[in-house]
Structure 1
């Protein structure tokens, strides 16, 4: 590096490859040419450097000379210096970025340049003499002879950048000889790109297929089904610890590892830096504004002759606003439209014991109060892996009994987050751990047998609901002995296909599928709405507020039908008598508040215990809220507009909206205080689709006309007793 000026640097401001130098100063990096290299490529950006003789270049040192391919920036051309004289030019105009390339043959060196890295122009060539050996490769600013000397003193500074260097060797031995004939079969391999566009929604879906019409098997090692370059959503010159992503909501059907929509980023897509976006504001061009859709590993899928491979799908929703409610409404509509089964919202109970007497009691009570589904819960004794004739016969008898009462019956099974044995668990390198601590590989012998048992149980018994906990979280498996995958490269794809084939089968056969993972686009009906199980050991009064907070927060990204909540009727994870609802008749006000919270939100919960009621009074309360829900089911299952989050300090409220329904809206307002409240609450009814005057009916009794202002806002005057609620149907 030239010492003619203190600012001369190849690592300007700690950025490797960025050159700050005087016009006629030599500043470059050099390294030995990799052994067996046949092609050398460098990518460069001239920046503000307008040098000519000392222009940005790509040099080599041979035994007897130092040729270089260099950029005469102010003249707009690339020149090849063959070690003795300039020997060829290529006009590049005002280009800011160029690729330089050397191809090394037995007796000749080709010097080439490109404006895009794809179309190459030969600038010059050099005959190599016997004994000529390429020793070093140089990138940066060299003197006219490709060496390290400065020219005439100048005060002009310039900033440029070496953006990349690559060295390529020869083809592997399998391609030795006539390469074109060996790859001729690839002419019969077709890659198709598919798009779906949706009416009345700013959404498109994209996926690729690979059709192998050749006479041999091929392997799809990896794919990238989408690459979308967009402008940055914020003006950020400096480093940021957390970026704002472009205003596009993206979802795929290759998603696992959690109950949040964010898990898609860890499984199937990524917002990446786009260095080709040279006019972005960020100084180092590190804004994540390039969407790439690709699996993190694999899929490494074999495609037989005549076979076809299909990638997973991506859906891209182009938002028209940054406003949180509007964006989340768009996401909820997208999920409902792509997975309409997510709108199913049966009322369900988790019975604590799976013996015949307990299950039949739960079925009878569920039918009496209007519940629609009973699940033999975790730790109940239900075992989906018990394929004995006796168990299959007993499950069929119970399912038949449930059907005679108009109830669907099913059970719970845990897949991941448990240890089987060393032979069947996922195998990971030292330092890596399964997502849930322990997990079987579902393409092991045990995993394949597990799914056969599930199919057999549900096919032979007629059970109609399945809660599949610890669903496949995306763990790789490095085993080479499991029958369902070869190694880690195909392990994730194969395991995910195994479990989603089961999910799709459940959907096809009408089995309601509850999974604590984002499997909606593969057949799942419900996911956890979002709660901490330990909170159900808090005192009962606190549980009431926490529950409504969970509902308020969980329905930003989910419609009410998409998520379940949890109501342990018996003691659960501690808390003692102060936390427990049983005996139900002794804590009836609290039990009713929980029912009002959930049915008022249109959210179904897992009511876990031995019974739904223990007295006529308890039965009446449960029936009251079930009837309320069923009367207003269409609007209660619709989207929630978030009015005021629960905090226990004042009222909280949510607004259900359904502009296509008879009931356009239903406003639930809760009073958590120990005293009655009177309030005038302004609520925006825009998403009901109503304007002008609207009809408002409080608690299905008192009807009045309410005017809306130009912003579709109305004033609700409420008087709510202590620890109670009211509701308004809007027509």
Structure 2
């Protein structure tokens, strides 16, 4: 390696080594925090920094992360140097970069780094390049509510590596480790790519795309039954098998670090080695002339342990990485695919301001039907909907079904959803092509895709889409995410009850139990508000859907449903209030939205309310008081960038009127000294904020009713 090739003299210099804490709160004012790549006083060192986090690499004698700092808290994140990545090729393990010789792994002094040496058997750094962030995949913006910024603003850094000199058989392979740091939030992405410039094929048995020796979060002498992990959220786009981030996270591992022998825990089992790797494989073969990309790992550094603030940070991350989650259409599930019934539902949606119709499960709709006559009929319905200004889509079931022994996953433990076809089978490949063809030919612009790929492993050696067990998970994930990315680039809205947001899906369940919608109506209403309150800790309002059983759903009888709508108008209105006032759209499943003029007026009134306050209702939510059926419950929408800085929603589940004084936390509205607060469209009242940015507001709410408060900046 030549010294001059890796000098960072062309980069702007970052003066000083001591990180400084930011003066602004990035959740309120992200503009000052712009990403840069810098050189330092050391000739072989470079830094990515956005004022919130800073990561530092030495490039000689090999590339390695030598510092990772939380500038918001003035704390270091890592305590030691590890390889930048690991890869197993044809059964042999290789380190990517890294430096050796650190004797103590409890902490890392700057002067120690100069004495570290390169592992001659590792891939060696040959250079780097920087530039803007590139889009992960095409994104067609179809709604005015979606953010216009794509790709996200920030900077990228790529470190290039060549195989070790002594591994002559690896000649021609080029491995590049990629980093992205985003403007305005403490977030870093990492992945690597391998290009095969040799004349032979290579099997990628496994890989680790990130390895960090993180500072421990706790140091118990005895090994506890349950550990607390360091205050950093790590996830990847290799996610499946869950409606929540936690369940769908298949790649993040917190492991013991065998190099850290001086830790307090006697068993040396403290989980402080952060590793990001697939649970299996990938086990894929890389032919000559082709390239392989790993999944992307995203590292969100927190500046607080407060649950609300951490949730706001996570939601900001998704608004930046997946801006399509801000597309939050009002939609109906129609229980028919007959032309007359669907047109009637489209007409009703247009009359009351709904924006999307989805042909529901149980409607008879079949997206796998490629008969030309059926395609023609569906295209006519799509054309009719579009003339009315309505988007249209349909439901399709992937998992939870069996096709046959030759097409289903081959696994002695069964499938996650009991039964599932393999996406690498002939049927699976044909199914995804049918979905794409249907959408292209009909002009449908929404897909509700139930039972998406859930990570099933398939041991078949006969399926054309994978070789065997080891590559089956990777290849099926690639198949479904390639399809979802195509949908995103084509402007197709995706309702997917699994965590595929980072690969293009728009919405998943807010968090609900299906059979609860067969309970008596009054119980549904409070449970629904609990679902919304709990689901929005990690989801924006637009990321989750709720449910309204206009017709029977999972049984329950007449006391559970809303039909006839005019005879249960109070309960129908309460469902509408629950959903629209929270900014959460629900599946209104039935054959009609209204049956009388009075019903129509009620639906229209709540749609108009939502559209009047849509920007603030679609904004982030502060959790004031959880519904419990015993007292008021309250949520607070906040956005310091809007004229409506906040909108508080207060429900009274009791039979009689409820009088209380709300203590509204207004910090995230951006107001510091005072607020102008009005109830509904009433007269604004001036309130001073206390030292913790709270306003005490007296309210009276009628029995079995709700009200809302609009928070604005006082004039003058």
Fold shared by both chains (TM-score > 0.5):
yes
Q: Does structure 2 retain, via aligned residues, the 8 Å contact 1:475–1:492? A: yes
Inter-CA distance 475–116: structure 2 relative to 1 (3 Å threshold): farther
By how many angstroms is 1:182 displaced? 11
Distance in structure 2 (CA, Å) of the matches to 1:295 and 1:234: 27
Q: TM-score, normalised by structure 1?
A: 0.75
**Kindly tell me: are residues 390 and 119 of structure 1, through their superposed partners in 2, closer, same or farther at Cα, counting changes over 3 Å?**
closer
Which of these residues, 273, 279, 303, is aligned with residue 290 of structure 1? 273
What displacement does 1:332 show? 0.6
CA distance, structure 1, for counterparts of residue 585 and residue 644 of structure 2: 20
Matched-pair contact (CA < 8 Å) for 2:219–2:270: no
**What is residue 481 of structure 2 aligned with on the other side?**
500
1 CA distance for matches of 2:586 and 2:665? 28
Equivalenced residue count is 560
- Displacement over 4 Å in runs of 4+: 93-97, 115-120, 180-183
State which of 398, 407, 418 in structure 2 corresponds to 1:424: 407
* Cα gap change, 1:700 to 1:94, in 2 (>3 Å): closer
Post-superposition Cα deviations, 1:43-82, rounded to whole Å, max 9, x if no partner, equal xxxxxxxxxxxxxxxxxxxxxxxxxxxxxxxxxxxxxxxx
Q: Structure 1 residues 463 and 233, CA, compared in 2 at 3 Å: closer, same or farther?
A: same
- Whether the aligned pair in 2 keeps the contact of 1:303 and 1:309 (CA below 8 Å) is yes
TM-score, normalization: structure 2? Answer: 0.76
Judged with a 3 Å threshold, the aligned counterparts in structure 2 of structure 1 residues 425 and 701 are, in CA distance, closer, same or farther, namely same
Q: In structure 1, what is the equivalent of residue 25 of structure 2?
A: none
Structure 2 CA distance for aligned equivalents of residues 426 and 254 of structure 1: 19
Residue matched to 1:708 = 689
Query: Is 1:257 paired with 2:241?
Result: yes
Provide the aligned C-alpha RMSD in A: 2.0
2:650 matched to 1:666?
no
Runs of 5+ unmatched residues, structure 1: 1-92, 98-114, 121-179
Distance 1:96 1:654 in 2: 49
Q: Partners of 2:368 and 2:507 in 1: how far apart? A: 23
Per-residue CA shift, 1:217-268, capped at 9, x if unaligned?
Answer: 2222211000011122123222322211111011211000010101244x22
The answer to whether the 8 A contact 1:529-1:564 is kept is yes
Match of 1:655 among 620, 633, 636: 636
What residue in structure 1 maps to residue 527 of structure 2?
546
Deviation at 1:183, TM superposition (A): 5.6
Distance of 2:429 and 2:289 partners within structure 1: 27
Aligned residue in 1 for 2:427: 446
**Aligned mates of 1:695, 1:198 — CA distance in 2:** 34
Structure-1 separation of matches of 2:522 and 2:669: 33
Partner of 1:586: 567
Distance 1:357 1:119, change over 3 A: closer
Aligned with residue 590 of structure 2, among 606, 609, 630: 609
Contact 2:253 2:275 in 1 (8 A): yes
User: For 1:348-367, what aligned pairs fall within 5 Å after superposition?
Assistant: 348-367=331-350
| Unaligned 5+ runs, structure 2 | 1-100, 106-115, 122-163
Listed as ranges, the matches of 1:43-58 within 5 Å are none
Deviation at 1:119, TM superposition (A): 8.8
Aligned pairs for 1:56-455 (under 5 A) are: 184-265=168-249, 267-429=250-412, 432-455=413-436
Could you report, residue by residue, the CA deviation over 1:513-558 in whole angstroms, capped at 9, with x for unpaired residues? 1100110000000011100011111111111100000000000000
- Map 1:432-581 onto structure 2 (within 5 A): 432-581=413-562
- Alignment correspondent of 2:615: 634
Deviation at 1:362, TM superposition (A): 0.8
Contact map agreement 1:252 1:264 (CA 8 A) in 2: no
Q: 1:437 to 1:96 in 2, by over 3 A?
A: same
Report if aligned partners of 1:248, 1:316 keep a CA contact under 8 Å in 2. yes
Q: 1:237 to 1:264 in 2, by over 3 A?
A: farther
Question: Using the alignment, how far apart are the partners of 1:500 and 1:96 within structure 2?
Answer: 42
Q: Which residue of 2 aligns with 1:87?
A: none
DSSP 3-state at the match of 1:654: strand
- The CA deviation at 1:447 is 0.4
Q: Which is further off, 469-478 or 229-238?
A: 229-238
Structure 2 Cα separation of the partners of residues 119 and 551 of structure 1: 55
CA distance in 2: counterparts of 1:370 and 1:305, whole angstroms: 55
Bigger-Rg structure (1/2): 1
Deviation track 1:8-55 (CA, whole Å, cap 9, x = no partner) reads xxxxxxxxxxxxxxxxxxxxxxxxxxxxxxxxxxxxxxxxxxxxxxxx
Q: Tell me, what secondary structure is at the counterpart of 1:502?
A: helix
8 Å contact kept, 1:185–1:215: no
Partner of 1:35: none
SS of structure 2 residue aligned to 1:587 = helix
